[in-house]
Amino acid sequence: MATRDESREVTVIETDSGAGLKWFVYGALLGAGLGILFAPRAGEETRDDLSRRARRLKEDASEKLGALVDEVETRGRSLKGTVETWADDVAGELRDGKREIRRTATSARDDLERRLAEARRRRRAAVGVDEELEIDLIDDEEEDELDLDVDGDGGFAAVGDDRNPGG
């Protein structure tokens, strides 16, 4: 029995397997082309057959392109309708928002005007109270300036009072 020599190094060379497949496909295509050229039919028959196949391929491609164009147009119209609906919704919401902002601004302005009128009324009332207090204070000061003398009979008479000629 043969024994294995484990002290030897083994070197493995890998090749690109994809490259072989590529050449196989190239060869198949080349073979198909040569098969058509060297077919047992007459050259004119082969050319007619190739022309028919090319026309059929062109018609199929044209039909598929037409179907694709129709599909794109249909989806485009649908998308356009969706976008228009969305744009109308957004425009409506913007109009509603604008109205709400105006309503809020008007309400805020009315509230500020009401508060300002109330503040003015309170200020006028306070100024009126101040004027009354000022008038009361002036009256109190005038009374303090008058000297009250007791006249001989026990009554009071204000000095400088016009009603008291002796003062």
What percentage of the chain has pLDDT greater than the value 70? 66
**Distance from first CA to last CA of the chain, Å, rounded?**
164
Q: What is the pLDDT of residue 24?
A: 86
**Span 2-21, average pLDDT:** 66
Position 34 scores a pLDDT of 80
Quick one: pLDDT at residue 149?
47
DSSP characters over 58-75? HHHHHHHHHHHHHHHHHH
φ, ψ dihedrals at 8, nearest 5° = -80, 140
Residue pLDDT, tens place only, 31-58: 888 877 777 767 778 778 888 988 999 9
Is the dihedral angle over the CA atoms 156, 161, 163, 167 positive or is it negative?
positive
pLDDT of residue 167: 45
Q: Percent of the chain at pLDDT above 90?
A: 38
* Cα(88)–Cα(68) distance, integer angstroms: 30
Domain map of the chain by residue range? 32-158
Q: What is the residue-wise DSSP string for 99-161?
A: HHHHHHHHHHHHHHHHHHHHHHHHHHHHHHHHHHHHHHHHHHHHHHHSPEEE-TTS-EEETT-
User: Does residue 142 carry a pLDDT above 60?
Assistant: no
| Whole-number pLDDT of residue 129 | 64
Higher per-residue pLDDT: 160 or 85:
85
- The DSSP annotation for 81-103 comes to HHHHHHHHHHHHHHHHHHHHHHH
Q: What are phi and psi of 121, to 5 degrees?
A: -65, -45
Assess contact for 32 and 18: CB atoms under 8 A: no
Rounded alpha-carbon distances, angstroms, from residue 126 to 3, 105, 136: 123, 31, 15
Q: Is the pLDDT of residue 76 over 50?
A: yes
Higher pLDDT, residue 34 or 94:
94
Predicted pLDDT at 56: 94
Cα–Cα distance, 167 to 157 (Å, whole number): 8
